[in-house]
Amino acid sequence: MWIQPKELLLPSAFWTAEMYSRYFVLQKRRGHGESRGFGSMLVGTFDSVMNTKPAPYRILHQTPSSEVSYEIAIGITQDDIVKDWEWLQTNLFSVLNEMENEDEVTNFTICKIQSLYAQNNQDESGESPDFKVKSSNFRQIFKMPEEERLVNSYSATYIKNKIPRQGQLYISLNHVCFYSLMLNQEIKLIIRFAELEDISRSGNTIYLKTTNNMTYNFTLMFNMNEAHVLIEQLNKMAIQKLIHDPESPVVDHDPSNFARLGAKTSKKSVLLRDLTARQKSEEFRVYFRLPQTEIIDGKIKADIWTPYSKRFNAGYIYLSPNFFCFRSDVKDLVSVVIPMKTIKSVEKKDDGQQRFDNQIVIFTAENVPFMFAKIADREVLISKITDLLSRIHIPVSRERAKYDISWSKQTALLNTFKTEFSADIQKKQELKMARWEEHFRDFGRGIAMYRTTDVINLIVEGIPDKLRQEIWLIFSGAIHDKEMNPGLYEDLVEKAACIKDSYTHEEIDRDLKRSLPEHPAFQCTDGTGALRRVLQAYALRNPQVGYCQAMNIVSSVFLLFCDEENAFWMLASLCENLLPDYYKDKVVGAQIDQGVLNELVETYLSDLHEHLERLNVIKMISISWFLAIFISVISYESSLQILDCFFYEGAKIIFMVSLQIIEWNRDKLLNCQDDGEAMLVLQTYLEGIYNPEYQVPQTTDKRERVRTQTVQTLIHEAYTKFGEELTQQRIEELRNKHRRLTMRQFDIDNEKTIVKAHMQNVYFERQELHMLLTIIREEKLTLKSMQQQQQKAQCHMSEAPQLLPHHQSPTRAGLGDVMPGGGNGRHEAYSVNFEVFHTLFTELTPWRKCVSVDVGEKLFRLTDKKGTGQLDFGQLINAFGLVCSSKSMEKLKLLFVLHLPPLLSKAEIERMRRPRPRTKDDAEEAFEAEDFFDEDASESIEALPSPSDHNFDADDYALISATQHLHNLAGISGNTFMDLSRTTPNLSLNSNASSLAQRNSTFYVDLPAAHQGTTTRTDAGQDDDNDIGLRQQGRYESIDTFSDISDLGAARITPPQTSTTAAAASAAEQMLLNVETISNFSQISDLVAATRLERADSNATDTRSLGSLGYLLDEGASATGQHRQVPNMRKENFQLLWRSIIEIMGCVQDEDMRRAYENLIEMGNSNIKKEPSLESFTQLNLGGSGDEQPDSNGNPTTPAAEPSSTTRLFVALEEELRQAKAGTAAAAGASATATTSNSSGSSNSTNTSDAWHISINQFIATVLTCECIVKAFQTRTHIVEQIEQLQKKRRKCLSTNYNY
């Protein structure tokens, strides 16, 4: 990249030249890259310590006779710089060579480069080249993806083990990172903002504490404040993101309008300026209660003339697109908010005294003048205002869609349902009214009034009924929202009224009469109707909140004093500005503020705090204080006065009043023995609070209330005691802290609950489960997996329609309802997709060593029975549990199964055999590339988690839980990856011979893509046999495996002819058909099993024919021989299986193993000879004979009787198998499927390697004779250690076992 040419005197120190020309040299920084010499080490340290960190490449311009060189380009990568170099070569070299004068050469070059620089930088993001280098350094060091944007970096010291390390603190949108390199000792740290539990600062050091209880300290010499504020801010954004969008909690900053605020010349990064502006805007908005969309444009020092006191007051003018605001330096002395659209004119005025020159006068629409003086830069201000005024956009009510609903806006209910005051109180109200009138006369009325302490005092004394609407609207800021969105409310009301069958509406309706039932207005439809409209409209406006109880109570009070639309906007302002996140799921905002209150109690009422903590009482009681702003907690007329203050003060008043109430009850609370007592104390006290100035006579509540205190005293005392110390800023700080803690607590609670629910699993202890949950949460939050998820989702979106026609069907939503143990999304937060699973698998389990075959992928597909692409936590612990357990036999069985087709398909084996670099990454890449570019669609499906092809309903679920229960009872580990049994598909079975044959042939069609003769048939036949035998034997494990495999087979059934025939469309159709038929496969085998059972006259009961439930019933049978019914394995698969075993063991074969291997090969050979299909049928009877051990060869010992009679169906099957055995293409054709006929061309081989097969029994029996294998598989993996290692690696950005 071209830079502004810079003069250099010592061009070669620290640099080595890579390319020369007459006038240019391309240099490379030492210490970057391979060379390990002392020199480069030193340079590296120097760079790191001195914070120079130049780009590793640069081009200098030099002339032979001059000492001075010019740096003209820098490059982060070699390609970058070479590109520039090439440009020089083509465009400059020849031109320069023609010049004679060296000065001329230099001038020309510099001029040229400058213009290049200017040109290139026009359209760029506005970042300085320096910053670009920094960002790219950051991404390289920490392997961050392109999307992760660096905000700023600071030179910092990190002290670890008392050794200070000087380095760079990088702050990016989602991470705090630290890098130091001193004498080849590298330190890297990555901390996610979302995982910070505590941020504190003392002196020049920032302390960060993460959720897994690690603390880090960084000492900064410069910019300490900026860094600290930045960390706080980004942490807040991260946690808020977590609250708003738990699914993708990555802070992604859109380059907003904020950017233009910062000074263009500033050296700071665009993002940093942007973030700072955002922060300032937020403060500005909160202070003046402006709408969320308002962005501060700038502030200018000025004095305001206040006519009521006849003097100038110093302060700042703040400008934003729609508002002109002023705030005095002296707190609460005076502030003004003038909406831009009401400004009629801005005039300069210079007749003032010398001291107050540079005046302007602003006239509003009502011709009220506002005078400002001592304006630092008057011209700028005026042009700015003019500019803003010219761009002002006055919203107009849009044309609305028409709805067939008639309703009319309810005016303030008090107009109809008048409060009857006694004469005494009436007089008080009138007196108040008069004082307000007087105030309006002096200080103005409406939005643009002078807001001073006087108005606060008036508010604290209580607003008269007649003025409540006006004052509430102004001070809550709701009026601005309303004015900016004319017509929105009507629109929402009508839209909402058209929604039918909404659960939210049901909830609202239920509460209409439970909002303010004592008020006559809500005993008839006037009140409840308006309340319904307001709540429904708001639920529609903000679906994240929807409807939360307490909103009804607050809204009903609004409706008494305000007309319907105003009430709606006040509710909006309440939910969105005044009480952020209060009414969201888990009332998270209120819980955060409870945390704040708890800390305030600790600060101000420390003697009480410990006691209350023990009673655990604050949390229980105060939730309604916050959510309902004391309405319905204290008497209605008293709560009104708190509400008055609330609109001015915000949540602060709730804190103050709460503290005051607790303090008044200090002694009683200290005497309480339990939570109930304390609750009672506070309840009685709160009910006794009364308002003598506003006594509504017709209280229907006959409950005797012991009068305790007037609300006026309460508010007054609260202000005097806590008003000063409790500032908005302090509340914000505490909120930030408790937002972190509350979210953390949610996680902890969640995890505890999930662990409790999974305590019965056979593999992991409590702590291990906790660790697993932690690592899953962390992994899911890493950027990488987030992005992949997104990409995958996109891929899915674009490809799904063609490839997975049935993919829409997985009934995720439906499942949620019947999912045992949690209808609430609690568990879902910990389900993993393939990427996370695979990462964890490779990081945590011992089978990661298996590199030839991607065992993790196989395991995922085996476990993900429903084809949702997600594993829930239970499935995950089962899969991981077995792999990490010490159950050698089960593990070997699992490994065997994982190497069977279709999990390990022929195509995949072929691919692996093709010569190609074997490194993991390449394999991955190639794999993916093939997936997405290969014509053969079946491969793409394979890459994705297998889609589901069958439906799931509640009955299935009952069945599954039943099986799970049985598994648990039996204490058998088998429930592992196989806990869900195959359920009967709901397609009706058309059981004639030809369809059966067709199904059979389609099922395995993808498997031996190249051959289709005898063995295919035989295999299929055998599978059926095995299946049947299995049922007889009642082995759940193998049958589950089998049905899993058939699922998978079905999933990737795309016929191979896609690549060979041009008729892609018909192929797709065919595929669709196949998927359906195949999904019936297990049903067919069930049927076969059923018929077989009749015939075989075994000890089975009818239940067995009901799919795979039956086998469970006699699962008590001994554990031997149960692996017999898994399909047999072919040679290629076996060889890979063997390789995997060796890889997992991580050693060379010893004598034992070699012998075992040879034995197995031999056995496979001998299996060829006794091939005939009927014999394979007999094998199924082996199962019936129960717990027989295979003999030392692993050969089954019992031959079983030939079945005597068969049903028609069965005859057909046998016939099919015989034909297959004959191996003629004609026979295949007879089965009359497009699939078979298409692939028959290539299927002329019944060679030995295809016929070779081995059963799981033989395999296990032989392998178990190998002591070293057994030993290797018996070792238990300590998952906790593995997880801790992974966490460490992640933190330190070390290379991990698995890299995407």
Partner 1 sequence: MASRKKSLLKVIILGDSSVGKTSLMNQYVNKRFSNQYKATIGADFCTKEVVVNDRVVTMQIWDTAGQERFQSLGVAFYRGADCCVLVYDVTAPNSFKNLDSWRDEFLIQASPRDPEHFPFVVLGNKVDLDNRQVSTRRAQQWCQSKNDIPYYETSAKEGINVEMAFQTIAKNALEQETEAELINDFPDQIRLNSENNRPGNADNCQC
- Contact residues for partner 1 (CB under 8 A)? 507, 510-511, 513-518, 548-550, 552-553, 584-587, 591, 616, 619-621, 623-624, 627-628, 632, 674-676, 679-680, 683, 700-701, 746, 749, 753, 756-757, 821, 823-824
Comparing CB distances to partner 1, the nearer of 113 and 829 is: 829
Shortest Å, Cβ 674 to partner 1: 7
Shortest Å, Cβ 821 to partner 1: 7
Shortest Å, Cβ 624 to partner 1: 4
Shortest Å, Cβ 964 to partner 1: 16
Comparing CB distances to partner 1, the nearer of 129 and 589 is: 589
Comparing CB distances to partner 1, the nearer of 605 and 620 is: 620
In sequence order, the 6+-apart residues with CB closer than 8 A to the CB of 977 are 859, 862, 863, 875, 878, 879, 882, 894
Comparing CB distances to partner 1, the nearer of 624 and 1016 is: 624
In sequence order, the 6+-apart residues with CB closer than 8 A to the CB of 737 are 198, 595, 599
Shortest Å, Cβ 414 to partner 1: 19
Structure tokens at 557: 């009070």
Shortest Å, Cβ 365 to partner 1: 43
- The residue assigned the tokens 């609903």 is 405
Shortest Å, Cβ 868 to partner 1: 22
* C-alpha Rg value of the chain to the nearest Å: 38
User: CB-based burial of residue 792 (10 Å sphere; 0-12 exposed, 13-18 middle, 19+ buried)?
Assistant: middle
Comparing CB distances to partner 1, the nearer of 553 and 786 is: 553
Comparing CB distances to partner 1, the nearer of 260 and 513 is: 513
CA dist 159 and 157 (Å) reads 6
Comparing CB distances to partner 1, the nearer of 301 and 514 is: 514
Comparing CB distances to partner 1, the nearer of 541 and 899 is: 541
Comparing CB distances to partner 1, the nearer of 245 and 674 is: 674
Candidates 1040, 1045, 1037; CA nearest to 1020 is 1045
Q: What is residue 580's three-state secondary structure?
A: coil
Shortest Å, Cβ 675 to partner 1: 8
Comparing CB distances to partner 1, the nearer of 449 and 672 is: 672
User: Angle 652-664/606-615 helices, nearest 10 degrees?
Assistant: 90
Shortest Å, Cβ 549 to partner 1: 5
Candidates 425, 438, 436, 475; CA nearest to 458 is 436
Shortest Å, Cβ 1129 to partner 1: 43
CA dist 370 and 361 (Å) reads 5
Shortest Å, Cβ 1066 to partner 1: 48
Structure tokens at 1277: 């993996």
CA distances from 1124 to 375, 972, 1033, 1258 (A): 92, 18, 10, 8
Phi/psi at 1295 (5° precision): -65, 140
Helix (H) or strand (E) holding 238: helix 224-244
Shortest Å, Cβ 760 to partner 1: 12
Shortest Å, Cβ 309 to partner 1: 44
Shortest Å, Cβ 516 to partner 1: 7
Comparing CB distances to partner 1, the nearer of 586 and 666 is: 586
Contact 648, 459 (CB under 8 A): yes
Long-range contacts of 712-719 (CB under 8 A, 24+ apart): 712/461, 712/462, 712/641, 714/638, 714/657, 714/660, 714/661, 714/689, 715/460, 715/641, 715/642, 715/645, 715/653, 715/657, 716/460, 717/660, 718/653, 718/656, 718/657, 718/659, 718/660, 719/460, 719/656
CA dist 132 and 422 (Å) reads 74
Comparing CB distances to partner 1, the nearer of 194 and 754 is: 754
Shortest Å, Cβ 679 to partner 1: 5
CA dist 1147 and 1159 (Å) reads 20
- The residue assigned the tokens 């065997």 is 896
Shortest Å, Cβ 722 to partner 1: 23
Comparing CB distances to partner 1, the nearer of 258 and 626 is: 626
User: Dihedral, CA atoms, 1149, 1151, 1155, 1157, nearest 10 degrees?
Assistant: 0
Comparing CB distances to partner 1, the nearer of 400 and 510 is: 510
CA dist 256 and 235 (Å) reads 19
In sequence order, the 6+-apart residues with CB closer than 8 A to the CB of 374 are 301, 302, 303, 312, 314, 355, 356, 357, 358
Comparing CB distances to partner 1, the nearer of 423 and 813 is: 813
Shortest Å, Cβ 676 to partner 1: 4
Candidates 1018, 1254, 1020; CA nearest to 1137 is 1254
Contact 1209, 993 (CB under 8 A): yes
User: Angle 711-722/652-664 helices, nearest 10 degrees?
Assistant: 100
Q: What is residue 631's three-state secondary structure?
A: strand
Shortest Å, Cβ 991 to partner 1: 37
Candidates 648, 657, 651, 787; CA nearest to 721 is 657
Contact 707, 656 (CB under 8 A): no
Candidates 401, 577, 566; CA nearest to 486 is 566
Comparing CB distances to partner 1, the nearer of 454 and 613 is: 613
Beta bridge partner(s), residue 372: 304, 360
In sequence order, the 6+-apart residues with CB closer than 8 A to the CB of 1075 are 805, 806, 949, 1050, 1051, 1053
Comparing CB distances to partner 1, the nearer of 747 and 1188 is: 747
Contact 521, 527 (CB under 8 A): yes
Comparing CB distances to partner 1, the nearer of 430 and 817 is: 817
Q: What is residue 548's three-state secondary structure?
A: coil
- Count CB neighbours of 535 within 10 A: 28
